[in-house]
Structure 1
Amino acid sequence: MSVPFQKYHGTGNDFLIIHADEYVPDRGALAERECDREDGVGADGILYLALEERFRPPRVIMTLVQPDGATAPMCGNGARCAADWAMKKTGSDSVMIDTQAGTLRADREGDEITIEMGTPTFDPEEVPVRADEPVFEEEIDGLEVTMVNTGVPHAVAFVDDVDDVDLATVAPPIRYGDEFPAGTNVTIASPDGDGGFDQRSYERGVEAETDSCGTGAVAIAVVARRLGLTDADPVSVNPPGGELLVSFNDRGNATLTGPVEHEFDGEVAVESPTEL
């Protein structure tokens, strides 16, 4: 028994999209198998999407299952991929995305899609981080990190050059640090020389560096503005997979803009009801 999928990526952050109506008895197990880049299709997660066309704009219910089999409440690039998928099905240039971190609006602007990212928070209880007050530039396992939640927690550190950091070695002790009851993503940034920032992110749930991380890009822009490192709007953030733009509205809410690409379609095997 198999189910169809569509492969999408947003600046290299790639996902399998499966309609939520498809019968998948163990979503976590499927993600562990098919996200594997050697033995599976290869992806940073599987998006299960349910489309509700009766609303204006149309609504999409998004569930992200990561390569470790766990669900994540939010993913900026994943939400942009979900938006593109829904827009192509409905012919609309605007959709609402229902995530575990809240309902967000997405709009198409030419070849790019902009997604609302909610209101970032430094509140220790909401990050979460075990601290009595917000964490700004505190040394944790060799990096001076600032803690922020942009839909998911991020430990953000500014360095001289992101390419000089052995992220695969530096990130795991922070990602699994006792300070973080829910774990944390680890994102590093450095000035790109043109007023923006280069980015690298080690993602919780992927347990590896990804080519792009939308919530990480927003985290960099939010922290950079808070620390006085930029007053630009939009803030250009450059992960390995391409450029993302982060803007802020009058309420302090962030938006994330970047390209989305539909790569290919395929099928993955799942257990049939008779095999359970």
Structure 2
Amino acid sequence: MNLSFEKYHGTGNDFVIVNPDACVPHRSRFARRVCDRTDGIGADGVLFLALEPEFRPPRVIMTLVQPDGSTAEMCGNGARCAAVWAAERANADEVMIDTLAGTRHAKIHDGGATIEMGAPEFGPNDVPVAGDEPLIETRVGDYDVTAVNTGVPHAVAFVDDVTAVNLERDAPPIRHADVFPEGANVTFASPCDGGFDQRTFERGVEGETQSCGTGAVAIAAAARRLGLTDGENVSVSPPGGDLEVTVDDRNATLTGPVEREFGGDLRVSNAGRLDLEA
């Protein structure tokens, strides 16, 4: 199998982009191979994008397959990368992105994109969590967490210093806790000058990522719910860069930079070997 690809990242959250016109019959297996950072290209996911430029604004259908082979409903940084990719091809400054979490509007600006993220949901059926009440500042594992769905479920824990958290040890018990029947991303946040620092252990990646857009929105939404911020504009700083979030009861937006890293051709042998020509 031969196909062309491109590599993009949003604040360090990196993705291999493949046009679904290419024949990839086993997307889960393909993503596991391609995302491998030792034997593959290395990425936090594969974005299969189908552009429909005849619409105004243009539309792009986005499917994100993660390194473990699962499909994610939504990815904020992935959607921003998809928006820039689509806008460049359609010669547009805004696009509509169809995701499994719904259709999202994105605006392109110099160096990046702003995307609508929908309304954060705290309801037990929306996250989802086990039980009849929202999970707000509730002990799970070794932390008090607040559960919110920002396209995917997040367990948000506010701590004094995110750099002091042993993420690989402390996040998995929360990610797999019985209270989260579909699992959850685990996001830690600590206050910093003008906003919050962020670290996220992502479901599907099963490890820490340099940035997580849905996690940044989850921090802003949880902070607003808990009274930790009194404004609608929140700055969030994951390890890979800075993101800006606006959030109210009806909608949230995510703004940040997007960069194209490189492109190339990929040959996948029947034995599963990847031959890359970048």
Normalised TM-score (structure 1): 0.96
Offset at 1:195? 2.2
Query: Are 2:91 and 1:91 equivalent residues in the alignment?
Result: yes
Quick check: 153-162 or 102-111, which moved more? 102-111
CA contact (8 A) 2:189 2:198 kept: yes
Offset at 1:270? 3.3
1:266 aligns to what SS in structure 2?
Answer: strand
Amino acid at match of 2:218: A
1:252 aligns to what SS in structure 2?
Answer: coil
CA contact (8 A) 1:25 1:270 kept: no
Offset at 1:271? 5.5
Offset at 1:232? 2.7
1:21-32 matched pairs, under 5 angstroms: 21-32=21-32
1:103 maps to: 103
* CA-to-aligned-CA distance 1:154-207 (integer Å, 9 cap, x gap): 000000000000001000111111111111000000001x12000000000000
2:29 aligns to what SS in structure 1?
Answer: helix
Query: Are 2:257 and 1:259 equivalent residues in the alignment?
Result: yes
CA contact (8 A) 1:245 1:258 kept: yes
CA contact (8 A) 2:95 2:106 kept: yes
Query: Are 2:235 and 1:244 equivalent residues in the alignment?
Result: no
Offset at 1:215? 0.1
Distance 1:126 1:31 in 2: 28
2:146 maps to: 146
2:183 maps to: 183
Query: Are 2:205 and 1:206 equivalent residues in the alignment?
Result: yes
Offset at 1:109? 2.4
Distance 1:47 1:181 in 2: 26
Query: Are 2:14 and 1:14 equivalent residues in the alignment?
Result: yes
1:126 maps to: 126
Q: Specify every segment of 5 or more residues in structure 2 that has no aligned partner in the other structure, as ranges.
A: 271-278
CA contact (8 A) 2:11 2:240 kept: yes
Offset at 1:233? 3.1
Q: Specify every segment of 5 or more residues in structure 1 that has no aligned partner in the other structure, as ranges.
A: none
CA contact (8 A) 1:60 1:98 kept: yes
The count of aligned residue pairs is 270
Percent identity over the alignment is 64
* CA-to-aligned-CA distance 1:228-256 (integer Å, 9 cap, x gap): 1012332000000000000136x620000
Quick check: 226-235 or 116-125, which moved more? 226-235
Amino acid at match of 1:208: G
Distance 1:88 1:40 in 2: 26
CA contact (8 A) 1:15 1:44 kept: yes
CA contact (8 A) 2:220 2:247 kept: no
CA contact (8 A) 1:25 1:271 kept: no
What RMSD over aligned residues (CA atoms) do the two structures have, in Å? 1.1
1:42-61 matched pairs, under 5 angstroms: 42-61=42-61
Quick check: 206-215 or 111-120, which moved more? 111-120
1:131 aligns to what SS in structure 2?
Answer: coil
* CA-to-aligned-CA distance 1:22-44 (integer Å, 9 cap, x gap): 00111100111110111110000
Offset at 1:108? 1.3
CA contact (8 A) 1:66 1:72 kept: yes
1:113 maps to: 113
Distance 2:92 2:224 in 1: 33
User: Among 261, 266, 269, which residue is 1:268 paired with?
Assistant: 266
CA contact (8 A) 1:24 1:270 kept: no
CA contact (8 A) 1:137 1:145 kept: yes
Query: Are 2:72 and 1:72 equivalent residues in the alignment?
Result: yes
Amino acid at match of 2:206: E
Distance 2:264 2:69 in 1: 21
1:172 aligns to what SS in structure 2?
Answer: helix
1:49 aligns to what SS in structure 2?
Answer: strand
Amino acid at match of 2:254: L
